[in-house]
Amino acid sequence: MISSEKTKQFKILAFETSCDDTSVAIINSDFKVIVNLISSQTTHKDFGGVVPELASRLHLKNIMQLTQAALTNAELSFEDIDGIAVSVNPGLIGALLVGVSFAKSLAYGLGKPVIAVNHMLGHIYANRIENPDLKPPYLALVVSGGHTELVDFKSMNDFKVIGKTRDDAAGEAFDKVSKLLGLGYPGGPIIDKIAKNGNPDFHQFPRALNRKDNYDFSFSGFKTSVRNYLASKNDEFIQEHIADIAASVQQAIVDSLVSKTIAFAKKSDAKIIIVAGGVSANSLLRNEISEKGRDIGANIFFPALEYCMDNAAMIGAAAIEKYQKNDFADLSLNAFSTKGIRIL
């Protein structure tokens, strides 16, 4: 249901449970985050990746406590909340269902509207928290553990996916290489840190689909190439050059992301480029896209570091516009796992 826009101040209580972080936030209509609590599930470390069933159970265990803590920290009560936002897709279906069921129950019990948010849209809107006046049109590079999408974004209801990964996501590439190197999960922040002391030209890993007018990404060949390279070296060599290998890996991933984003920005004469998702925390990506973006006269935006990874504040940020337009879901709302950014 969409009707006339609201202009008065309001507060959104938001939930994010799409993967392995349970997060509850309260944000007001000026994009000011009042509270943003994240409970990151460490259980999965023992398994080398997220175990969906464990993720759902932990969301269930944490969500009520986290909600109460959010209200207490904010010195607010349920009566002060105007709308309830929740990420509905994409993600692990069992994990999403916890957030969606909880949000719907609260909405029903409190008589407040519920707002369905696409998680990727949430990542994009994380940029509004630091820059409330940042408005589309812009080119958005959304890079997370499960997604890599280049989106020509005109509005929440009008955007086009220009390119996406044909196999692994950029964050997944960082995570898998980190695992091959025995460095742990999530791999992105670890490789980012180690790479600072390494030589990015130490080894040239492949940059896939490096053709003009091709804006898709691919990281599976790259991953195989890293695996083959490591298999050809002994442990001593790998340990001695771990920083160089990490720097070369990071350079290859960042080159692929930046070259395609800048090529499309140039072609479409984009004035604003925004980067979003967990990988937008990467220091090399931030430096390179800022520099190359400046060269073509585009303004570049990233979320603040604390809003790059999964968090409920970004889900609340994406819900603000929907609340203003009375774009509410009804209680038949369901979670679904289908990949990618989409209109809900």
Residue ranges that bind ligand KG4, judged by CB under 6 A = 19, 144-146, 171-172, 174-175, 186-189, 192, 277-279, 281-282, 309-310
Instruction: Report the nearest approach of ligand KG4 to the CB of residue 330 (Å).
Output: 26
Cα 30 → chain centroid: 21
**310 touches Zn ion (CB under 5 A):** yes
Instruction: Report the nearest approach of ligand KG4 to the CB of residue 188 (Å).
Output: 2
Choices 7-15, 140-148, 170-178, 282-290 (CB under 5 A): range interacting with Zn ion: 140-148
Instruction: Report the nearest approach of Zn ion to the CB of residue 255 (Å).
Output: 23
Between 149 and 244, whose beta carbon lies closer to Zn ion?
Answer: 149
* DSSP codes, 134-185: --S-EEEEEE-SS-EEEEEEEETTEEEEEEEBSSS-HHHHHHHHHHHTT--S
**144 touches Zn ion (CB under 5 A):** yes
User: Residue 327's binding partner, choosing from ligand KG4, Zn ion, none, with beta-carbon cut-off 5 to 8 A by kind?
Assistant: none
Instruction: Report the nearest approach of ligand KG4 to the CB of residue 95 (Å).
Output: 11
Instruction: Report the nearest approach of ligand KG4 to the CB of residue 290 (Å).
Output: 15
Between 180 and 281, whose beta carbon lies closer to ligand KG4?
Answer: 281
User: Residue 188's binding partner, choosing from ligand KG4, Zn ion, none, with beta-carbon cut-off 5 to 8 A by kind?
Assistant: ligand KG4
* Number of chain residues interacting with Zn ion (CB under 5 A): 2
Instruction: Report the nearest approach of Zn ion to the CB of residue 90 (Å).
Output: 9
Neighbours of 130 (CB within 10 A): 13
- The residue behind tokens 């944000």 is 27
User: Residue 146's binding partner, choosing from ligand KG4, Zn ion, none, with beta-carbon cut-off 5 to 8 A by kind?
Assistant: ligand KG4
Instruction: Report the nearest approach of Zn ion to the CB of residue 271 (Å).
Output: 26
Between 27 and 276, whose beta carbon lies closer to ligand KG4?
Answer: 276
Between 22 and 144, whose beta carbon lies closer to Zn ion?
Answer: 144
Query: How far apart (Å, rounded) are the C-alpha atoms in residues 180 and 186?
Result: 12
User: Residue 246's binding partner, choosing from Zn ion, ligand KG4, none, with beta-carbon cut-off 5 to 8 A by kind?
Assistant: none
Provide the token pair at 155: 């509005």
Provide the token pair at 25: 């936030």
Going by their DSSP bridges, the two strands 158-164 and 272-276 should be labelled as: unpaired
User: Residue 174's binding partner, choosing from Zn ion, ligand KG4, none, with beta-carbon cut-off 5 to 8 A by kind?
Assistant: ligand KG4
Between 74 and 258, whose beta carbon lies closer to ligand KG4?
Answer: 258
Going by their DSSP bridges, the two strands 83-89 and 299-301 should be labelled as: unpaired
Instruction: Report the nearest approach of ligand KG4 to the CB of residue 89 (Å).
Output: 12
- The CB-side HSE value for 249 (13 A sphere, CA atoms) comes to 38
Query: How far apart (Å, rounded) are the C-alpha atoms in residues 329 and 148?
Result: 27
Give the closest residue to 156 by CA, choosing from 132, 125, 202.
125
Query: How far apart (Å, rounded) are the C-alpha atoms in residues 330 and 107?
Result: 10
Calculate the CA dihedral of residues 186, 189, 190, 191 and round it to 10 degrees. 110
- Contacts (Cβ under 8 Å, ≥6 apart) of 106: 13, 67, 78, 84, 112
User: Residue 316's binding partner, choosing from ligand KG4, Zn ion, none, with beta-carbon cut-off 5 to 8 A by kind?
Assistant: none
Residues that bind Zn ion (CB under 5 A): 144, 310
